[in-house]
Amino acid sequence: MTTHPHGFNTPRPNESSGARHVRGGPPPGTPESLTFVDAASDAPDHLQITNLRKNFGGAEVLKGVNLDVAQGRSTAIVGPSGSGKTTLLRLIAGFASPSAGRIALGGEEVAGPSTWLPAHKRSVGYVAQDGALFPHLSVGANIAFGLPLRGKAAALRVGELLEMVSMDTSYAKRRPHQLSGGQQQRVALARALARQPQLMLLDEPFSALDAGLRVATRRAVSQTLKQAGVTTILVTHDQSEALSFADQVAVMRDGKLAQIGSPFVVYTRPSDRATAEFLGDAVIIEAWMEGSLALCSLGGIPVRRPPVQGKVYLMLRPEQIRISSNGPIRGRVVDTDYFGPETTVRIQLEPILVDAEHPADPHQPVGGEIINIRHWNAMLARPGTELSLKVVGEGVVFPWD
Ligand SMILES: Nc1ncnc2c1ncn2[C@@H]1O[C@H](COP(=O)(O)OP(=O)(O)OP(=O)(O)O)[C@@H](O)[C@H]1O
């Protein structure tokens, strides 16, 4: 470990930036000859959660959560409202105790069947959705609140912390209500960083910000924490935020983690249909899996390591389906939805032609589905237009119910 100029213990480059191969092989579209490297690291685990459960009365809100987070890396926990994300974060922070299971920080058990370390002894920072600054204190006093320093030493440290979150030191004199929402969130982060936590927990800290500010604040916060070598967990229900913020994404559904992996892997190789649909737009159509080809109304789509053969759901991301003058698939535009940089185009695919001499296989798809793709040129895709399409990359299949 090296010591960060701001007083943080920063992992050496080879401790935090190592990469390892993805278990289960590269994602679709990755040539075999290229070595795919995951964003995960070889750094030791900082946080280890084992079979964590939490009941409120008779309701089981966490149903056996397992999660490892490497030292100095970031994980986003994403999932629908009520899936248990905040509950998990509060158990890690030490604001509540688990009903069963274990939590270890830096190899030391902080919560378990016979262990309980209170929140203030866990070296964990927590930034809430609204920042929760003390309104009657100046920005400087808010940040200095938890510092063991006083006078000039405290003022110097407050200045350093403001610089870390990309704010001028002159802001120290202001009151929270004199700051924008994004600035308030940065001050909340500076206040949490003042205690030099080794683990930072962010509970939807950007959700109250408008779109532009949200992206800028998210980037600034992510960079600050990465540079300081602080292990970070972000809870969000916004899938694009999760995919862009973190080295690792954990998808929570109904009190369990449905999938954990790099953003690229969870987006391109979701483990099930619900995860696929939660993480972004998905084209899901009926197909017939034969070897490594999924036969469907979009043609024969290659699938890496299909879990089953026969009737399946095939999933593609809309950006994998391109309008192409000599594409092999034909379809007709049903309608469009214009939203600036791109247009969502609803296309009815041609039914699969059946040769009179070879009657249709009753198992195989008949085609004619309506799918959504995206295109930059709204004029090209007027309703009724006949289009040729092609598919790039590989599909993912899920078993037929
Ligand atoms: N203290 C509590 N007592 C009883 N039930 C609770 C308590 N805290 C949370 N719950 C319940 O646990 C479930 C999960 O809540 P939690 O806040 O963890 O979800 P979440 O995924 O963070 O949701 P959101 O994205 O809406 O914040 C919800 O059904 C909630 O009502």
- Across the range 110-117, mean pLDDT stands at 94
Q: What dihedral do alpha carbons 338, 342, 348, 353 form, nearest 10°? A: 160
Interface confidence: ipTM more than 0.90: yes
Asked if the model's pLDDT at residue 290 lies above 80, the reply is yes
Sheet holding 199-203, edge to edge: 124-127, 199-203, 231-236, 74-78, 248-253, 256-261
Residue 61: CB within 6 Å of ligand 1? yes
Boundaries of every domain in the chain: 2-123+197-268, 281-399
Distance from Cα 88 to the centre of ligand 1, integer Å: 10
Q: Whose CA is nearest to atom 9 of ligand 1?
A: 87
The token duo for 246 is 């973190």
Residue 79: CB within 6 Å of ligand 1? yes
3-state secondary structure of 202: strand
281 Cβ contact partners less than 8 Å away, ≥ 6 residues apart:
317, 318, 372, 374
Nearest-angstrom CA–CA distance, 134 and 121: 22
Q: What dihedral do alpha carbons 92, 98, 100, 104 form, nearest 10°? A: 20
**Segment 193-227, tens digit of pLDDT:** 888 889 999 998 887 777 777 788 788 888 888 88
Q: What is the pLDDT of residue 353?
A: 63
Phi, psi (5° rounding) for residue 144?
Answer: -75, -5
Residue 54: CB within 6 Å of ligand 1? no
CB 365 within 8 A of CB 400: no
Q: What mean pLDDT value characterizes the chain?
A: 84
Distance from Cα 204 to the centre of ligand 1, integer Å: 14
Asked if the model's pLDDT at residue 31 lies above 50, the reply is no
Give 153's pLDDT tier (boundaries 50, 70, 90): confident
Q: What is the pLDDT of residue 357?
A: 62
Asked if the model's pLDDT at residue 380 lies above 90, the reply is no
CA end-to-end span of the chain? 51
Q: What is the pLDDT of residue 11?
A: 34
- Across the range 147-176, mean pLDDT stands at 86
Q: Report helix angle 151-164 to 181-193, nearest 10.
A: 120
Q: Whose CA is nearest to atom 8 of ligand 1?
A: 87
**Segment 232-277, tens digit of pLDDT:** 999 998 898 999 989 999 999 999 999 999 999 999 999 999 999 9
Asked if the model's pLDDT at residue 94 lies above 60, the reply is yes
Asked if the model's pLDDT at residue 27 lies above 70, the reply is no
Following DSSP, what letter does each residue of 248-259 receive, concatenated?
EEEEEETTEEEE
Angle (nearest 5°) at CA 114 between 89 and 96: 25
Residue 185: CB within 6 Å of ligand 1? no
**Which position has the higher pLDDT, 55 or 130?**
55
Alpha carbons within 13 angstroms on the beta-carbon side of residue 18 total: 12
Q: What is the pLDDT of residue 150?
A: 79
Q: What is the pLDDT of residue 355?
A: 59
Q: What is the pLDDT of residue 33?
A: 33
- Output the CA–CA distances (angstroms, integers) from residue 174 to 183, 367, 369, in the order listed: 11, 63, 59
Number of H helices, E strands in the chain: 9, 23
118 Cβ contact partners less than 8 Å away, ≥ 6 residues apart:
94
CB 16 within 8 A of CB 229: yes
Q: Report helix angle 211-228 to 181-193, nearest 10.
A: 20
Most confident of 26-30, 110-114, 363-367: 110-114
CB 391 within 8 A of CB 319: no
Give 28's pLDDT tier (boundaries 50, 70, 90): very low
Asked if the model's pLDDT at residue 17 lies above 70, the reply is no
Residue 55: CB within 6 Å of ligand 1? no
Which amino acid makes up residue 396?
V
Nearest-angstrom CA–CA distance, 215 and 225: 16
Range in 62-71, 112-121, 163-172, 300-309 with the lowest mean pLDDT = 163-172
Q: Whose CA is nearest to atom 4 of ligand 1?
A: 56
229 Cβ contact partners less than 8 Å away, ≥ 6 residues apart:
4, 8, 9, 10, 11, 16, 71, 72
- Across the range 82-88, mean pLDDT stands at 94
Residue 237: CB within 6 Å of ligand 1? yes
Give Cα 114 distance to the centre of its chain. Answer: 33
Q: Which fold has domain 2-123+197-268?
A: Rossmann fold (3.40.50)
Q: Whose CA is nearest to atom 3 of ligand 1?
A: 56
Distance from Cα 292 to the centre of ligand 1, integer Å: 42
Asked if the model's pLDDT at residue 321 lies above 80, the reply is yes
CB 155 within 8 A of CB 104: no
3-state secondary structure of 279: coil
CB 123 within 8 A of CB 177: no
Residue 83: CB within 6 Å of ligand 1? yes
Share of the chain above pLDDT 90, in %: 51
- Across the range 311-330, mean pLDDT stands at 91
Distance from Cα 85 to the centre of ligand 1, integer Å: 8
- Across the range 58-82, mean pLDDT stands at 95
Give 5's pLDDT tier (boundaries 50, 70, 90): very low
Q: What is the pLDDT of residue 358?
A: 58
Q: What is the pLDDT of residue 8?
A: 36
List 210's β-bridge partners, or say none.
none
Which amino acid makes up residue 20?
R
- Across the range 388-395, mean pLDDT stands at 94
Asked if the model's pLDDT at residue 283 lies above 90, the reply is yes
